[in-house]
Structure 1
């Protein structure tokens, strides 16, 4: 029941470093843009009235 650490990325080591695979910076950039877009849409989304009513009951 040992721990297999061969396939794990060491803490503090960026993914792709030391694996012999070049990083795909264009793909990384696209992923970052997509994540920021989803986050921004979530932040701007209105809070449903039902949820606000529940929060009001906590006071």
Structure 2
């Protein structure tokens, strides 16, 4: 991904062709990396509370 960061459209297309990649793959990888750096949907406390709920229902 770092190798593709500064490439323009034509250069990125050539890089993908040389590497046997599709442009959509690079786009998906970039999006996955961006998503990994965003805030989590749930906090740890919220996640633990959700995990406790099914246990309470079974009692």
Question: Considering the TM-score relative to the shorter chain, is it more than 0.5?
Answer: no
Larger relative contact order (CA 8 Å, sep ≥ 6)? 2
TM-score, normalised relative to structure 2 = 0.33
Bigger fraction of residues in helix: 2
TM-score (norm 1): 0.33
